[in-house]
Structure 1
Amino acid sequence: MAASDPKSWRSELNNHPLFLHLRQGEDDSKSNRAEARSLVVVQDGDIFVWNGRGSNLGTANLKTLLQDEDEVGKRPLKFQTLLCTDPPLSEVNHVTFNPTGNHIALWGGGGVSVMEVPRRWGKHAEFEGGKDKVNCRSYPVAERLFATQSSLQLLQVDWHPGSPSDTHLVILTSDNVLRIYDIEKPDSPYQSFQLGEFADSFSLHSSSSATFNQALGETAVSFTFAPPVDVPVHDKLKWKGDQAKKTETMYPVFVLRGNEDVYYLLTSLEQKSPKVCLQGPLTMHPPADDNYGIDACSILCLPCNPPLVVIATTTGRLYHCIVLQGEEEDDDDRRSEVSWAGSDVSTRSALDMPEPSLYVYESVELELSLGGTPDDIDSYPDYQPDNCPIRLHPDPSSDGRYHCSHAMGVHSVALPWISKLHRFSQSDEEDKDSLLELSRDQPCIVEHLVCTRPVPSSPPAPILGVTVVGDQLLGPTLLCLTSDITCIALPLLTHYADPPPPTLSSLPPQPVTSPLRKLHSKPFDQHIRDILRRDASNPILKSIPKGAQPSDQECFQLLTRATQVFRDEYIKKQYLAREEVEKRVDLLKEQKAQQQSDLDTLREDRKSLTEMAEKLAEKYEEANEKQQEYLKRVENVLKSLQARLPVLSDAEVNMKKELDSLQEKLKHLKNSTQQVKTKWDYQKRQVTQQARQTSSPALSQSQTKHMKELLKQEGDKIGELVKQVNSMRLQCGV
Structure 2
Amino acid sequence: MSLTDILELNKTELFAKIRDGLPVVQKTQNLLDCKDDLLFAWDAKECCLLVRNWRSSLAGEVSVQFQTLIPSSTVGLDVDRVLASNECSLVALSGPRGVTILELPRRWGPDGYYKDGKARITCRTFSLDTQLFLNNPHLEVRQMRWHPHSVSDSTLLVLLNNNTIRVYNHSKLRHVWQVGPSLHRGEGTSSLCDFGEVAVDFDIAPAGKTRGDSETTGKNETTLDNSNKTLMAAKSLPKQERIEWPVVVLRENGNIYVLMTGVDSEMTRLQGPITITPQTRDNYGLESCALMIIPSLPPTIVMAESNGKLHHALLMEAEAAELSFNEVDDFVLIEPAEYVVHVLETVELELGLAAGGGGGGAAAASYNCPVYLKRDLINEMRYFAYHNAGLHAVTVSFISELQRYLDSESEDDRLELAASSRAEYILCTKFDSSESVNAVFGLALLQIPAGVVLLLGSGQVISLKLVIDAQLLVTPNESKQAGLDVSQQESGPSFVDTIKSLLQRSVNQPILAEKLASPSAQESYELLNQAIEVLREQYLKRHDLVRAAFARHINQIQLKREQQKLEIQDLEQERELISERAHKLAERFEEISYSQELLVRKCNGLMQKANAALPNNVVAEREFAQEVSRLNTVTQSMAAGLESCKKTLNKQRYHIAKSQEDLKKNAYELPEKQHSTITEILTQLTGEIDRQIIDWQSEAKFGRREMTLILLAALSTIYTGMFNYVKAKFPFVIEAAMVTLCFGSIVGRFCILA
TM-score by length of 2: 0.56
Match of 2:146 in 1: 159
Match of 2:701 in 1: none
**How far 1:427 moved relative to its partner?**
4.4
Deviations 1:640-692 (A, max 9, x none): xxxxxxxxxxxxxxxxxxxxxxxxxxxxxxxxxxxxxxxxxxxxxxxxxxxxx
- 2: CA distance between counterparts of 1:163 and 1:340? 32
Match of 2:341 in 1: 358
Instruction: State whether residues 80 and 94 of structure 2, in contact with CA within 8 Å, keep that contact through their aligned partners in structure 1.
Output: yes
**How far 1:178 moved relative to its partner?**
1.5
Instruction: State whether residues 178 and 195 of structure 1, in contact with CA within 8 Å, keep that contact through their aligned partners in structure 2.
Output: yes
Q: Is the aligned partner of 1:261 residue 2:248?
A: no
Paired residue for 2:459, among 485, 490, 502?
485
Match of 2:113 in 1: 126
SS in 2 for 1:209: helix
Instruction: State whether residues 91 and 103 of structure 2, in contact with CA within 8 Å, keep that contact through their aligned partners in structure 1.
Output: yes
**How far 1:153 moved relative to its partner?**
1.0
**How do 1:23-422 and structure 2 match up within 5 A?**
23=19, 25-26=20-21, 30-31=23-24, 33-68=25-60, 72=61, 75-76=62-63, 78-185=65-172, 189-199=173-183, 202-203=184-185, 206=186, 208-232=187-211, 245-271=239-265, 273-274=266-267, 276-328=268-320, 331-334=321-324, 355-372=338-355, 385-422=366-403
What amino acid is aligned across from residue 419 of structure 2 in structure 1? Answer: Q
What amino acid is aligned across from residue 208 of structure 2 in structure 1? Answer: V
- 1: CA distance between counterparts of 2:465 and 2:104? 28
Match of 1:604 in 2: none
SS in 1 for 2:45: coil
Q: Which moved more, 1:156-165 or 1:357-366?
A: 156-165
Distance 1:308 1:76, change over 3 A: same
Match of 2:412 in 1: 432
Unmatched runs of 5 consecutive residues or more in structure 2: 215-229, 358-362, 473-754
Distance 1:425 1:335, change over 3 A: farther
Instruction: State whether residues 198 and 219 of structure 1, in contact with CA within 8 Å, keep that contact through their aligned partners in structure 2.
Output: no
Match of 1:610 in 2: none
- 1: CA distance between counterparts of 2:446 and 2:200? 28
SS in 2 for 1:461: coil
What amino acid is aligned across from residue 223 of structure 1 in structure 2? Answer: F
What amino acid is aligned across from residue 284 of structure 1 in structure 2? Answer: I
- 2: CA distance between counterparts of 1:315 and 1:332? 31
**How far 1:100 moved relative to its partner?**
1.1
What amino acid is aligned across from residue 358 of structure 1 in structure 2? Answer: V
Distance 1:458 1:260, change over 3 A: closer
Identity of aligned residues (%): 28
- 2: CA distance between counterparts of 1:9 and 1:407? 20
Distance 1:497 1:246, change over 3 A: farther
Distance 1:46 1:340, change over 3 A: farther
**How far 1:13 moved relative to its partner?**
2.7
Distance 1:258 1:342, change over 3 A: closer
Which one has more relative contact order, counting CA pairs under 8 Å at least 6 apart?
A: 1
What amino acid is aligned across from residue 259 of structure 2 in structure 1? Answer: L
- 1: CA distance between counterparts of 2:332 and 2:180? 16
Deviations 1:44-67 (A, max 9, x none): 111111011110111111112333
What amino acid is aligned across from residue 9 of structure 2 in structure 1? Answer: L
Instruction: State whether residues 401 and 496 of structure 1, in contact with CA within 8 Å, keep that contact through their aligned partners in structure 2.
Output: no
What amino acid is aligned across from residue 466 of structure 2 in structure 1? Answer: L
Instruction: State whether residues 350 and 365 of structure 2, in contact with CA within 8 Å, keep that contact through their aligned partners in structure 1.
Output: no
Q: Is the aligned partner of 1:453 residue 2:430?
A: yes
SS in 1 for 2:133: helix
- 1: CA distance between counterparts of 2:322 and 2:4? 60
Match of 2:725 in 1: none
Match of 1:686 in 2: none
SS in 1 for 2:434: coil
Instruction: State whether residues 41 and 466 of structure 1, in contact with CA within 8 Å, keep that contact through their aligned partners in structure 2.
Output: yes
- 2: CA distance between counterparts of 1:231 and 1:40? 37
- 1: CA distance between counterparts of 2:328 and 2:317? 17
Distance 1:336 1:316, change over 3 A: closer
Instruction: State whether residues 228 and 251 of structure 1, in contact with CA within 8 Å, keep that contact through their aligned partners in structure 2.
Output: yes
TM-score by length of 1: 0.57
Match of 1:713 in 2: none
Match of 1:442 in 2: 419
Distance 1:253 1:338, change over 3 A: farther
SS in 2 for 1:121: coil
Q: Which moved more, 1:261-270 or 1:48-57?
A: 261-270
Distance 1:231 1:481, change over 3 A: same
- 1: CA distance between counterparts of 2:204 and 2:84? 15
**How far 1:342 moved relative to its partner?**
11
What amino acid is aligned across from residue 362 of structure 1 in structure 2? Answer: E
Instruction: State whether residues 156 and 167 of structure 2, in contact with CA within 8 Å, keep that contact through their aligned partners in structure 1.
Output: yes
Deviations 1:231-281 (A, max 9, x none): 246699x9x99995421111111100010000011121343x22x211111
Instruction: State whether residues 71 and 102 of structure 2, in contact with CA within 8 Å, keep that contact through their aligned partners in structure 1.
Output: yes
**How do 1:633-672 and structure 2 match up within 5 A?**
none
Deviations 1:282-327 (A, max 9, x none): 1111001121241100000001111000000011100001111112
What amino acid is aligned across from residue 446 of structure 2 in structure 1? Answer: V
Match of 1:16 in 2: 12
- 2: CA distance between counterparts of 1:332 and 1:415? 29
Deviations 1:168-221 (A, max 9, x none): 211111111111122242xxx31112222233xx12xx1x32122112211111
- 2: CA distance between counterparts of 1:243 and 1:42? 43
Q: Which moved more, 1:314-323 or 1:455-464?
A: 455-464
Aligned-residue CA RMSD (Å): 3.3
Distance 1:9 1:210, change over 3 A: closer
**How do 1:689-708 and structure 2 match up within 5 A?**
none
SS in 2 for 1:145: helix
What amino acid is aligned across from residue 198 of structure 1 in structure 2? Answer: S
Match of 1:554 in 2: none
Deviations 1:402-447 (A, max 9, x none): 001111111110112211112324546x733342xx24x3211111
- 2: CA distance between counterparts of 1:100 and 1:165? 9
Instruction: State whether residues 323 and 359 of structure 1, in contact with CA within 8 Å, keep that contact through their aligned partners in structure 2.
Output: yes
Unmatched runs of 5 consecutive residues or more in structure 1: 344-349, 375-379, 499-734
SS in 2 for 1:260: coil
What amino acid is aligned across from residue 117 of structure 2 in structure 1? Answer: G
Instruction: State whether residues 277 and 341 of structure 1, in contact with CA within 8 Å, keep that contact through their aligned partners in structure 2.
Output: no
**How do 1:577-592 and structure 2 match up within 5 A?**
none
Distance 1:37 1:219, change over 3 A: same
What amino acid is aligned across from residue 387 of structure 1 in structure 2? Answer: N
Instruction: State whether residues 222 and 256 of structure 1, in contact with CA within 8 Å, keep that contact through their aligned partners in structure 2.
Output: yes
Deviations 1:531-584 (A, max 9, x none): xxxxxxxxxxxxxxxxxxxxxxxxxxxxxxxxxxxxxxxxxxxxxxxxxxxxxx
**How far 1:162 moved relative to its partner?**
2.4
What amino acid is aligned across from residue 425 of structure 2 in structure 1? Answer: H
Match of 2:633 in 1: none
